[in-house]
Structure formats: structure tokens, C-alpha cells
């Protein structure tokens, strides 16, 4: 069996039927990480207990117990999720030395299903970024071209998955952090409907936007992972009571009669020609498979980037206030603590602990929330957010799924945008509306640029309509012109 390229489903089947042991699989991937991650820097922490944990799955199988649908699948976890006994950093110095005493619900559910956690994956600090260059643990490289970024903030997850240092990963998406790196690295990434997946135990960035989801190699693996992590959690009151469909069992490539919306505003120009060609090709394919293309419009998406950055930074400034060096986080070394003024204590601890981008966001957010500016910025942004959501509700009365680009460009060069925050923020133009409206969205690999960089297409559906979106993704995957293409690192 080709362990390196097997899907999660194939690995689990092989482990469950004893064709290969979970320990052998963990060992295989451990060697890949050791050999290849020096170039990529996708791991912050490698779990040195992975093989021991895998052996326990083999013992379970030997005893005749059910090891779960993901038995022995080597998994990478974005370092935003708390993992019991395994360091969790959010790629920030401020969380240095933090070892959580519990697992995030997503991690607990996946462990219950049989995964083996191979380690914690790199990201932009506190998931703030679009290139994985703001990590306190160094930038991540794109396995398709080491001079390029893997996207962000879940850049480590995307790079590790594309280079097959793991067989599956999970990321978080506040404004595009699953979909954009999935597109840049040629993997499948799903951001579920807000409320579908528990946020318990995930380091909070912007709580009304954050959602976790799979970043994997196939649509089938995405459907299965999503199904396992979804559903009501008593520990997160924003999770929905809704029943979780059997996404993987009900997956179908039949798109006959489906209405695919093409959002006018997203195809209006400014697209890299190879991105435009990729989306056009996806349209043609869907049409030839019997879907109907309809033009739809959501004019307020023009304002989505500023609205997103007002809301996300406001929530971040509030969420990150907990890292004060007392209850949480890095504490500056003052020697004799009793001789320190409290203000000085906070500002030095936070000043040392946070990186520049995080500080910029805290300042922006604090400004938006301050009295005198609250109504003009934060309240106004929330009102426009509501209108964007309403416009999407109308869009989904006219179509089942919207097809669009994920990003204007394929992966850009490391260093190219990091000194220009506005250029970096504009990168999120096609992804943030989905979060503002609370909708599910995903990226499916469908093209390669002239420079052989991956290009994904984005699918968005109505609230809790993940199945429709996954089905269109499965249909595209089946005819994808880039099927079987691999990054040069593997």
C-alpha cells in the first residue's frame, strides 16, 4: 500500500483490517516529517508519543474492540486547538510553555474516532494573517515552490497536508484561513456553517467568525472528518442543535439540475488570468454535467474587507486582553516583582509576548471599540454585516451553491506583501463575506498556474447546506484537470 498518498479512508480501512498496523503508519509519517519538514517548517511541535499512542489502537484492534472510523490516521492539528499534554502556542511567544490540561472538542472527537496526533502545525500568530509569515516560530514554505508562501493563517496545515507529512489536518477559518491556504497548496479545505462545529478549546481570535474544519486530500475525507467533528456541544453555546447529516455516506457527484450561482461582483476583474481560467473551466465542467449556471449578485460584498477588519480586530482586542502575564501568558522578568507598577508590568509582558501584527490588530480593535468611535465603527460594521447576510440569503433563494475564486492570485512570494498590511488584508476579498454571513464555504483544487502553483475554486452554500457544497466539490474533483498532480517536495 502506498502509505504516503493513501487517503484517510484508505488508511483507516487498512488499519482496521490489519493490513498495516497503526504503529507502522505512525512510524512512516514520523520519518517523512523528520526528512522533509526542515524545508517547510510546518510543525511547531512533533508529538514524540505518536507511535506509543498508535500502538494502543493496534492493541484495541487485537482485543476485538472498535478502533473508530479513523483508526490509525496520522493527523496534524493547527496549533490553535488545545491538546491535552501537548504544547499549544497559537504561534505566539505569549503562550510560551502552555501545556493544556484538556483537549478541544474537535480534537477529542477526532481522537475518539481513532486518529493519531502527529503534532501541532504552524500558523500566523493567533491566526492573524494570510501568508503564515507572522508566526513567532518562523514562516512556513509552500511545498510546490519553496520561495512562495503556503497561504494563511493555517499555512502549516496546508503545507504539511500537501507534502503528505500527515494524512489529514484540521484548521480554523475566521476570514479565509482554511480556504485560502488550501487553494495555495492544492488541498481540500472546508469552513463549516457558523455553529456547526464546537469552538470549545480553540484559542479565540474573533469569536463570532471563528469556525474549525478539515484540510485534507480528498472530498470524501473532508466529508467524513466534518461529520465526525460536527454537532451540538454543551461546552459551546453557539453550536446548533441541528442533526448532523451523514455527509460522507450521502456524498454524490450528481449535479444534474443543480443551480450554480456565479457572483457578479467576484468575477468583475482584477483576477489573475490563471485564476479566471480555472473558475471558467469549473463552470464549463459543471454545465456539461447538467448543472445550470445563474448569475447572482451581492453588491455589499464590496465593503466586506473593511467590515471584516473592523469586527475581527474589535473581537480580537477583547479576546486577547486575557493575556496579561498574570492569569495567562508570558510574564516579563522584573526580578523583584513587588517594585513594579501594574501598568508597566502589563505593557512589558504584552509588549514582549505579542508580535507586530497582533499588536496592530489590538490597537485597531481597541480604537473601534472606544467610546466615541464605537457607534461610528463597530456598530456600523455590525449593521452592514447583517445586510451582507441578508443579501446572501437572497442569493441562496436563486441558487444552490455559489462558485467563485478563493483568492485573486495563486501563492505569492515570501516577503512580497508582509510589509504592506493593506495589500495583505485585500488578499481576503473573496473569503471574508462567507464568515460575516456565517455560511459554509470550501476550496477544491482545480487548476495550476503557468508556474505550477495550485489554484482552488471556492464553493459557498446556504446555512447548514454543507452536503450540497460537498457534492458539487465531489463532482469537480472527479473531473479535476489537476488530479494526481503533486508538489515537487514529495
For ligand GLN, give the closer residue by CB, 107 or 312. Answer: 312
Task: Exactly one of 42, 92, 130, 153 is catalytic; name it.
Answer: 153
Pairing between β-strand 259-263 and β-strand 401-405 as defined by DSSP bridges: parallel
Tell me which residues touch ligand GLN (CB under 6 A): 127-130, 153, 173-177, 205, 312, 428
| Smallest distance from ligand GLN to CB 401, Å | 21
**Is 359 a catalytic site residue?**
no
**Is 78 a catalytic site residue?**
yes
For ligand GLN, give the closer residue by CB, 67 or 175. Answer: 175
Q: CA nearest 118: which of 88, 73, 159, 85?
A: 73
Q: CA nearest 447: which of 227, 241, 280?
A: 280
For ligand GLN, give the closer residue by CB, 162 or 305. Answer: 305
| Smallest distance from ligand GLN to CB 123, Å | 8
For ligand GLN, give the closer residue by CB, 216 or 358. Answer: 358
Report d(CA 333, CA 345) in Å as an integer. 9
| Smallest distance from ligand GLN to CB 205, Å | 6
For ligand GLN, give the closer residue by CB, 42 or 130. Answer: 130
| Smallest distance from ligand GLN to CB 79, Å | 13
Task: Exactly one of 130, 177, 248, 404 is catalytic; name it.
Answer: 177
Report d(CA 289, CA 479) in Å as an integer. 10
For ligand GLN, give the closer residue by CB, 175 or 325. Answer: 175
Query: CA dist 345 to 335, 340, 341, 360, 427, Å?
Result: 12, 6, 6, 20, 36
By beta carbon distance, the residue nearest ligand GLN is: 177
**Is 60 a catalytic site residue?**
no
For ligand GLN, give the closer residue by CB, 58 or 428. Answer: 428
For ligand GLN, give the closer residue by CB, 135 or 174. Answer: 174
Instruction: Answer yes or no: are the C-beta atoms of 135 and 112 closer than 8 Å.
Output: no
| Smallest distance from ligand GLN to CB 136, Å | 16
| Smallest distance from ligand GLN to CB 441, Å | 11
| Smallest distance from ligand GLN to CB 215, Å | 12
Q: CA nearest 151: which of 126, 120, 167, 127?
A: 127
State how far Cα 17 lies from the chain centre.
Answer: 31
| Smallest distance from ligand GLN to CB 210, Å | 7
Task: Exactly one of 21, 23, 30, 78 is catalytic; name it.
Answer: 78
Catalytic residues: 78, 153, 177
Amino acid at each position: 500500500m502506498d502509505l504516503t498518498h493513501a487517503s484517510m479512508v484508505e488508511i483507516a480501512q487498512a488499519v482496521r483490517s490489519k493490513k498495516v498496523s497503526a504503529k507502522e503508519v505512525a512510524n512512516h509519517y514520523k520519518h517523512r516529517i523528520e526528512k522533509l519538514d526542515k524545508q517547510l517548517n510546518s510543525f511547531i511541535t512533533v508529538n514524540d508519543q505518536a507511535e506509543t499512542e498508535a500502538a494502543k489502537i493496534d492493541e484495541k484492534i487485537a482485543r476485538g474492540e472498535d478502533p473508530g472510523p479513523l483508526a490509525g490516521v496520522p493527523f496534524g492539528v493547527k496549533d490553535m486547538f488545545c491538546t491535552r499534554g501537548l504544547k499549544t502556542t497559537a504561534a505566539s511567544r505569549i503562550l510560551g510553555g502552555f501545556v493544556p490540561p484538556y483537549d478541544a472538542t474537535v480534537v477529542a472527537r477526532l481522537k475518539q474516532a481513532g486518529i493519531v496526533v502527529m503534532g501541532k502545525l504552524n500558523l500566523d500568530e493567533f491566526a492573524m494573517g494570510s501568508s503564515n509569515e507572522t508566526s513567532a516560530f518562523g514562516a512556513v514554505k509552500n511545498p510546490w515552490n519553496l520561495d512562495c508562501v503556503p497561504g494563511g493563517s493555517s499555512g502549516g496545515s496546508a503545507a504539511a497536508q500537501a507534502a503528505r507529512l500527515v494524512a489529514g489536518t484540521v484548521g480554523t477559518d475566521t476570514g479565509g484561513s482554511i480556504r485560502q491556504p488550501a487553494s495555495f497548496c492544492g488541498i481540500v479545505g472546508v469552513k463549516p456553517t457558523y455553529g456547526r462545529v464546537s469552538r470549545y478549546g480553540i484559542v479565540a481570535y474573533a469569536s463570532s467568525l471563528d469556525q474549525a474544519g478539515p484540510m485534507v486530500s480528498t472530498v470524501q475525507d473532508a466529508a467524513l472528518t466534518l461529520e465526525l467533528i460536527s454537532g451540538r456541544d454543551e461546552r459551546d453555546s453557539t453550536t446548533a442543535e441541528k442533526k448532523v447529516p451523514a455527509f460522507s455516506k450521502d456524498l454524490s457527484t450528481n449535479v444534474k439540475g443543480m443551480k450554480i450561482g456565479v457572483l457578479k461582483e467576484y468575477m468583475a476583474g482584477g483576477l489573475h488570468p490563471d485564476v479566471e481560467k480555472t473558475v471558467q473551466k469549473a463552470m464549463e465542467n459543471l454545465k456539461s454535467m447538467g448543472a445550470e449556471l445563474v448569475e447572482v449578485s451581492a453588491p455589499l460584498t464590496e465593503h466586506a474587507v473593511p467590515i471584516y477588519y473592523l469586527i475581527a480586530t474589535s473581537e480580537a482586542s477583547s479576546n486577547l486582553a486575557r493575556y496579561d502575564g498574570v492569569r495567562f501568558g508570558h510574564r516579563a522578568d522584573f526580578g523583584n516583582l513587588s517594585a513594579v507598577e501594574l501598568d508597566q508590568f502589563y505593557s512589558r509582558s504584552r509588549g514582549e509576548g505579542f508580535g507586530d501584527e497582533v499588536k496592530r490588530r489590538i490597537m485597531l480593535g481597541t480604537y473601534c471599540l472606544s467610546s466615541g468611535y464605537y457607534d461610528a465603527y463597530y456598530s456600523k460594521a455590525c449593521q452592514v454585516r447583517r445586510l451582507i447576510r441578508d443579501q446572501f440569503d437572497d442569493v441562496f433563494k436563486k441558487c444552490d451553491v455559489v462558485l467563485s475564486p478563493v483568492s485573486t492570485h495563486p501563492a505569492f512570494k515570501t516577503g512580497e506583501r508582509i510589509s504592506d498590511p493593506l495589500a495583505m488584508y485585500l488578499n481576503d476579498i473573496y473569503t471574508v463575506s462567507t464568515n460575516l454571513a456565517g455560511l459554509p464555504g470550501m476550496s477544491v483544487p482545480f487548476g495550476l498556474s503557468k508556474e505550477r502553483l495550485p489554484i482552488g475554486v471556492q464553493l459557498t452554500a446556504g446555512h447548514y447546506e454543507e452536503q450540497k457544497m460537498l457534492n458539487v466539490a465531489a463532482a469537480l474533483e472527479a473531473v479535476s484537470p489537476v488530479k494526481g498532480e503533486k508538489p515537487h517536495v514529495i
